[in-house]
Amino acid sequence: MTKRKSVYVEGFGHKNPIPAACRLGNIVTSGIIYGLDIATGKPADGLQRQCALMFAHVRSIVEAAGGTLDDIVKLNVWMTDRSQRQAINDAWLALFPDPDTRPARQTMQGVLTPGILVQCDFLAVLEVSP
């Protein structure tokens, strides 16, 4: 029987005792990921920079779990102003340029922690369990 495994990433974490993600067999689900500037320990300035950092953290978290961006099947994104989705789309297209292999995505408006303009979580299915 496969046991649950917490996934931690150097420099990215939550204030609470919560891992960045959790893996069970070949399934990985993340906690909330946002545009944390690791140098300052705070959300980055501006929506575009937060989007770029958020997706960079998505990459590092799925890789820390033993997967790749190709293993992600779904992203949920929340933002304070959904009318500014173009900033997410720009970073999204940079991360997933091939329209035939992009994961599903849902973007919702939400009330986020002050300073955070966008956040996401993901679900990934890896090819092989550890």
pLDDT digits (tens, 9 = 90+) for 40-52: 989 999 999 999 9
Distance CA 21, CA 110 (A): 21
**Mean pLDDT in residue range 49-74:** 97
Lowest mean per-residue pLDDT among 12-26, 45-59, 80-94 = 12-26
pTM more than 0.75 = yes
CA-CA-CA-CA dihedral for 7, 8, 14, 18, to nearest 10? 40
Mean of per-residue pLDDT scores for the chain: 93
Distance CA 65, CA 25 (A): 11
Which amino acid makes up residue 56? A
* pLDDT tens digits along 7-21: 999 888 777 789 999
Domains and CATH numbers, the chain: 5-125 (3.30.1330.40)
